[in-house]
């Protein structure tokens, strides 16, 4: 579009929410053809969708660097300012956000379009009121129309994230900060939509749609949100007031602040703006001057625009660079800072072979330098890709299809996190830009469709990841319901399988008396979900407790996994742990934390029920051990019996005979009879309660000993096992086994072999008949090795020489000292005093 003077030129200037873009769309659609240049690809896409609704797909074209939808008979063109068609004649032309002529990187493009792009019937220049002096200076024939803001914009101060009002947008100035804020909003408020300039239109639209539909009440965005993206935002909170502009970290200008803050309020609805209080004294804060200027829409007028010569000299690359760096004679048009396209051109021109390129080759080189740096890798790295592209197209050739296809295929991968997908999206935008250059590829339509498909897949995956990471619909429902009705009014239901739901949203599972939050919920959400459920689960938990108390004992079991804690369980769920108590057979009961959620009466009833069950089970399986404890305090029994039973009870019903030698030596016949009634076996090697050798009794005895010692449950042998291999000294003794070298033999079986040996020695036999003190049938059935047998027989008093057994008698040994008395064991102490 060459500059022309026969059409109407209007500059429509004013703050945000004045309907400037809406006016441009209306005016364009009133003409037979038209074009509008926008600052963002996202905005161009948004307006394209609106115009398609009015005029139909066949009449509307979309032209951006990475997206090209051009029907054969297109009359209305929506594009980014860089992609505006300059070789077509349109009845209408508009340039949106023309004040961006002050942008260091892209400003010269806006200035060029403002000066040169014209419609034959009407031209609109849309922008801030600060642009007025530049319009008067550069386009004196233009009619200036000022438009007031439809709604009021007011400063609302600083607000904490937890108190952020619904329908708020938080603006940050880096992807890292956007993600961090979105994560915090997900924890506190149930989620947020995310909008950044680097997102594809599909991803951005999907995120905005969630916000517009009310699925989330919060939006986190970069400053790209200030460029005309229309959303129902009531409040804008600045997470910071400084940004990196590509060269340095600087404070936002007041017009930039106003552009962003102006997103609050729409049409006739008023809006507010402020800062986000993140704690500390260094949070962002507006000055009084900035607040007044934003509220009153009063800004310092622009005194310059950036400009770059568009009349280029392609004689050779050196002449091209010289023409690009030419200065304007107009003092308000400043030379643009070094943009990345010119920086890349200068880097590539350092190669003499490229610097000598002339004419068409120089034009192609400059076209290649226009490839945007979507991945923000900087001139040095970006120049490598540009140089390779130019290597293919320099002499009118096309890019190698295998290279293009391989690079696009590498990016066609929807796995990975948000950062990986966003990086691939930025990468595929470069190839989409190349695919829309019809002179760079042999089959541009094919590759444009291919890159479109890859971008669509990556966009869908990125939207899914953003939603998955930053939106928790369950938490959003809970937050909304708690705010509207209070936590006590939430409809909590428990299904037959234990699934707990709040309204339609399943939030966890009730297992026994323990509520477990859905594993899909993140750690930060679990406290909220737990609180919401527990307030309404009390009745269900009390009902379960009452049902358990009313049932028979079969539902309770001893919970004693090898190597784990020991307690009482019901239906496989741990209800209480056992701890050292008043005595070995009276352990203390510590209820599980899950029972704390029961009402006090229900918890007391269930505890009493478990204590009664525990007492019955100890009496049933270890009754003889309980009677040993009672006998130790029975004054009708002699002191030796009381001392022996006290020590035996303290040891769990089993002790080596040598450790009890002194009280056994003091036993008379009645005393031995009393011990026999207690079912105590005074074996040749061990003294033990015979009933404790049963499998279930062994299990309970091992559990009681482990609880008192504060140790985990030992690994139990299989039921009926006679021997153990590899058991530790501690476990073997706890499980009533006697050590024979590397083998452990159950003490009652060792006693049978010992008794047989003594009976064989005492029996009369013919002279010259060798002594056979071994019960071979029993040894064979036990699978006892000769080494273990020899160790056992040595303990009994036999030795083997030349395959014959000889009685050698018990070796003289220092009298074994009994096991040290446990505190409070009076009869053990009495035995010590007698010694």
Residues 282 and 241 in one domain: yes
| Measured CA distances, 51 to 62, 65, 226, 289, 625 (Å) | 10, 20, 21, 40, 91
**What single string gives the DSSP state of each residue in 45-109?**
HHHHHHHHHHH-GGGEEEE-SS-EE--TT--EEEEEGGG--SSS--SEEEESSGGGGG-TTTHHH
Long-range contacts of 565-573 (CB under 8 A, 24+ apart): 565/712, 565/713, 566/703, 566/706, 566/707, 566/712, 566/713, 567/592, 568/610, 568/613, 568/614, 570/512, 571/512, 572/512, 573/511, 573/512, 573/513, 573/514
Residues 98 and 200 in one domain: no
Which pLDDT score, from 0 to 100, does residue 813 have? 46
Which pLDDT score, from 0 to 100, does residue 505 have? 66
Residue 302 lies in a domain: no
Question: Residue 561: helix, strand or coil by DSSP?
Answer: coil
Which pLDDT score, from 0 to 100, does residue 815 have? 45
Distance CA 460, CA 475 (A): 23
> What proportion of the chain, given as a percentage, has pLDDT over 90?
42
**What residues contact 523, with CB distance under 8 A and at least 6 apart?**
none
The secondary structure of residue 471, as a DSSP letter, is B
Strands 68-69 and 153-160: unpaired
Please give the structure tokens belonging to residue 308. Answer: 């770059």
Residues 165 and 280 in one domain: yes
Edge-to-edge strand list for the sheet holding 153-160: 153-160, 271-277, 235-238, 168-171, 218-221, 193-195
The answer to whether the CB of 337 falls within 8 A of the CB of 306 is yes
Which residue is associated with the tokens 């009879």? 673
Which pLDDT score, from 0 to 100, does residue 317 have? 93
Distance CA 371, CA 382 (A): 9
Query: When comparing pLDDT for 73 and 819, which is higher?
Result: 73
Residues 48 and 108 in one domain: yes
Residues 312 and 455 in one domain: yes
Confidence band (pLDDT; 50, 70, 90) for 356? Answer: confident
Length of the chain counted residue by residue: 835
How confident is the model over 418-449, as pLDDT tens digits?
888 888 988 998 999 999 888 899 888 899 89
Residue 30 lies in a domain: yes
Which pLDDT score, from 0 to 100, does residue 521 have? 61
Residues 287 and 358 in one domain: no
CA angle 515, 518, 520 (to 5 degrees): 160
Mean pLDDT of the chain: 85
Q: Which residue range forms the structural domain that includes residue 73?
A: 8-146
The answer to whether the CB of 422 falls within 8 A of the CB of 198 is yes
530, 550, 570 — which closes off a domain? 550
How confident is the model over 49-71, as pLDDT tens digits?
999 999 999 999 999 887 889 99
Residues 462 and 319 in one domain: yes
**What residues contact 316, with CB distance under 8 A and at least 6 apart?**
355, 356, 357, 358, 362
Residue 826 lies in a domain: no
Which pLDDT score, from 0 to 100, does residue 469 have? 77
Which pLDDT score, from 0 to 100, does residue 102 have? 92
Residues 321 and 460 in one domain: yes
| Measured CA distances, 318 to 328, 360, 391, 767 (Å) | 19, 14, 18, 129
Which pLDDT score, from 0 to 100, does residue 208 have? 86
Residue 609 lies in a domain: no
Distance CA 34, CA 746 (A): 100
Which pLDDT score, from 0 to 100, does residue 814 have? 43
Q: Note the Cα 535 to chain centre separation in Å.
A: 26
Residues 259 and 403 in one domain: no
Residue 664 lies in a domain: no
Residue 669 lies in a domain: no
Q: How many folded domains does the chain comprise?
A: 4
Residue 829 lies in a domain: no
469, 500, 528 — which closes off a domain? 469
Positive or negative torsion for Cα 199, 201, 206, 207: positive
Indicate whether 227 pLDDT > 70: no
How confident is the model over 303-336, as pLDDT tens digits?
999 999 999 999 999 999 999 999 999 999 999 9
The answer to whether the CB of 568 falls within 8 A of the CB of 580 is no
Name the nearest CA neighbour of 322 among 346, 356, 347, 357.
Answer: 346
Query: When comparing pLDDT for 629 and 205, which is higher?
Result: 629
How confident is the model over 800-835, as pLDDT tens digits?
887 788 888 765 444 444 455 554 555 555 555 554
Residue 278 lies in a domain: yes
Largest Cα separation within the chain, whole Å, is: 147
Please give the structure tokens belonging to residue 729. Answer: 């000294």
Name the nearest CA neighbour of 147 among 16, 340, 299.
Answer: 16
How confident is the model over 364-382, as pLDDT tens digits?
999 999 999 888 888 999 9
Which pLDDT score, from 0 to 100, does residue 2 have? 45
Distance CA 115, CA 99 (A): 13
- The burial class, CB within 10 Å (0-12 / 13-18 / 19+), for 519 is exposed
CA angle 266, 269, 271 (to 5 degrees): 80
505, 524, 550 — which closes off a domain? 550
Distance CA 326, CA 333 (A): 12
Residues 137 and 234 in one domain: no
Query: When comparing pLDDT for 734 and 722, which is higher?
Result: 722
The answer to whether the CB of 91 falls within 8 A of the CB of 32 is yes
Q: How many CA atoms lie within 13 A of 39 on its CB side?
A: 26
How confident is the model over 784-797, as pLDDT tens digits?
888 888 888 888 88
Q: Looking at residue 165, which CATH number applies to its domain?
A: 3.40.50.300
Residues 318 and 459 in one domain: yes
Taking residues 296-300, report their average pLDDT: 87
Taking residues 77-100, report their average pLDDT: 93
HEC profile of 573-610: EEEEEEEEEEECCEEEEEECHHHHHCCHHHHHHHHHHH
Which pLDDT score, from 0 to 100, does residue 804 have? 81
**What residues contact 217, with CB distance under 8 A and at least 6 apart?**
166, 167, 168, 189, 190, 211, 476
Residues 362 and 463 in one domain: yes
First to last CA, the chain: 120
How confident is the model over 734-781, as pLDDT tens digits?
678 888 888 888 888 999 999 998 888 888 777 767 778 888 888 888
Indicate whether 124 pLDDT > 80: yes
Distance CA 576, CA 590 (A): 5
Taking residues 723-739, report their average pLDDT: 73
Indicate whether 520 pLDDT > 70: no
What kind and span of H or E run contains 281?
A: none
Which pLDDT score, from 0 to 100, does residue 210 have? 87
The secondary structure of residue 668, as a DSSP letter, is -
């Amino acid at each position: 579009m060459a500059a022309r003077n026969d059409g109407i030129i209007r500059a429509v200037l004013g703050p945000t929410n004045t309907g400037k873009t809406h006016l441009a769309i209306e005016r364009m659609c009133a003409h037979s053809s038209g074009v509008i240049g926008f600052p963002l690809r996202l905005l161009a896409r948004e307006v394209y969708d609106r115009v398609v609704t009015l005029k139909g797909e066949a009449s509307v074209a979309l032209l951006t660097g990475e997206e090209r939808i051009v029907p054969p008979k297109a009359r209305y063109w929506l594009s980014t300012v860089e992609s505006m068609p300059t070789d077509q004649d349109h009845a209408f032309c508009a340039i949106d956000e023309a004040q961006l002529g002050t942008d260091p990187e892209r400003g010269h493009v806006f200035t060029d379009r403002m000066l040169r792009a014209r419609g034959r019937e009407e031209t609109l220049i849309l922008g801030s009121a600060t642009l007025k002096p530049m319009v008067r200076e550069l386009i004196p024939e233009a009619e200036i129309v000022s438009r007031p803001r439809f709604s009021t914009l007011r400063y609302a101060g600083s607000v904490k994230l937890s108190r952020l009002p619904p329908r708020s947008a938080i603006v940050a100035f880096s992807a890292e900060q956007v993600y961090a804020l979105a994560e915090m909003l997900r924890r506190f408020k149930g989620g947020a939509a995310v909008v950044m300039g680097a997102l594809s239109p599909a991803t951005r639209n999907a995120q905005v749609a969630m916000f517009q539909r009310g699925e989330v009440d919060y939006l986190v965005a970069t400053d790209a949100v200030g460029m005309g993206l229309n959303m129902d935002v009531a409040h804008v909170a600045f997470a910071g007031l400084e940004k990196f502009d590509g060269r340095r970290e600087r404070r936002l200008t007041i017009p930039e602040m106003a552009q962003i803050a102006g997103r609050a309020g729409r049409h006739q609805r008023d809006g507010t703006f402020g800062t986000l209080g993140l704690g500390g004294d260094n949070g962002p804060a507006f000055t009084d001057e900035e607040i007044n200027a934003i509220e009153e829409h009063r800004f310092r007028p622009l005194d310059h625009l950036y400009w770059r010569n568009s009349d280029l000299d392609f004689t050779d690359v050196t002449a091209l660079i010289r023409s690009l760096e030419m200065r304007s004679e107009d003092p308000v048009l400043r030379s643009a800072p070094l943009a990345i396209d010119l920086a890349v051109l200068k880097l590539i021109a350092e190669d003499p072979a490229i610097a000598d390129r002339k004419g068409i080759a120089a034009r192609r080189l400059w076209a290649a330098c226009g490839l945007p740096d979507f991945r923000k890798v900087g001139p040095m790295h970006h120049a490598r890709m540009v140089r390779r592209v130019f290597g293919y197209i320099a002499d009118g050739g096309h890019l190698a299809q295998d290279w293009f296809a391989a690079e696009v295929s590498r990016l066609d991968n929807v796995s990975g996190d948000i950062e990986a997908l966003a990086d691939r999206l930025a990468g595929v935008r470069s190839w989409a830009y190349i695919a829309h250059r019809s002179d760079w590829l042999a089959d541009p339509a094919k590759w444009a469709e291919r890159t479109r498909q890859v971008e669509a897949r990556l966009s869908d995956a990125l939207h899914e990841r953003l939603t998955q990471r930053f939106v928790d619909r369950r938490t959003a429902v809970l937050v909304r319901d708690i705010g509207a009705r209070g936590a006590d009014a939430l409809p909590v239901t428990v299904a037959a399988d234990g699934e707990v739901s709040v309204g339609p949203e399943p939030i966890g599972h009730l297992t026994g008396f323990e509520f477990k939050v859905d594993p899909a919920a993140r750690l930060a959400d679990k406290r909220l979900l737990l609180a919401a459920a527990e307030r309404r689960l009390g009745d269900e938990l009390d009902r379960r407790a009452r049902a358990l108390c009313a049932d028979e004992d079969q539902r309770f079991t001893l919970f004693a996994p090898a190597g784990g804690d020991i307690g009482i369980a019901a239906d496989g769920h741990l209800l209480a742990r056992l701890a050292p108590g008043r005595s070995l057979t009276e352990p203390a009961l510590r209820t599980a934390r899950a029972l704390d959620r029961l009402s006090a009466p229900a918890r007391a009833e269930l505890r009493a029920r478990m204590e009664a069950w525990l007492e019955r089970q100890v009496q049933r399986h270890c009754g003889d051990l309980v009677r040993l404890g009672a006998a130790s305090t029975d004054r009708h029994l002699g002191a030796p019996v009381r001392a022996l039973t006290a020590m035996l009870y303290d040891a769990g019903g089993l002790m080596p005979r040598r450790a009890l030698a002194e009280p056994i030596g003091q036993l008379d016949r009645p005393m031995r009879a009393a011990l026999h009634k207690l079912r105590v076996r005074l074996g040749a090697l061990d003294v033990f309660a015979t009933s404790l050798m049963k499998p279930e009794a062994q299990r309970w005895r091992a559990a009681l000993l482990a609880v008192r010692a504060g140790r985990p449950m030992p690994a139990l042998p299989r039921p009926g096992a006679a021997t153990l291999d590899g058991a530790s000294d501690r476990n073997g003794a706890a499980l009533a086994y006697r050590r024979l070298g590397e083998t452990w033999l159950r003490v009652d079986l060792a006693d049978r072999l010992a008794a047989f040996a003594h009976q064989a020695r005492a029996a009369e036999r013919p002279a010259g008949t060798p002594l056979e003190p071994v019960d071979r049938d029993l040894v064979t059935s036990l699978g006892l090795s000769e080494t273990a047998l020899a160790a056992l027989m040595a303990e009994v008093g036999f030795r083997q020489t030349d395959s014959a057994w000889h009685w050698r008698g018990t070796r003289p040994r220092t009298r074994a000292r009994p096991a040290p008395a446990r505190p409070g064991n009076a009869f053990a102490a009495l035995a010590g005093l007698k010694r």
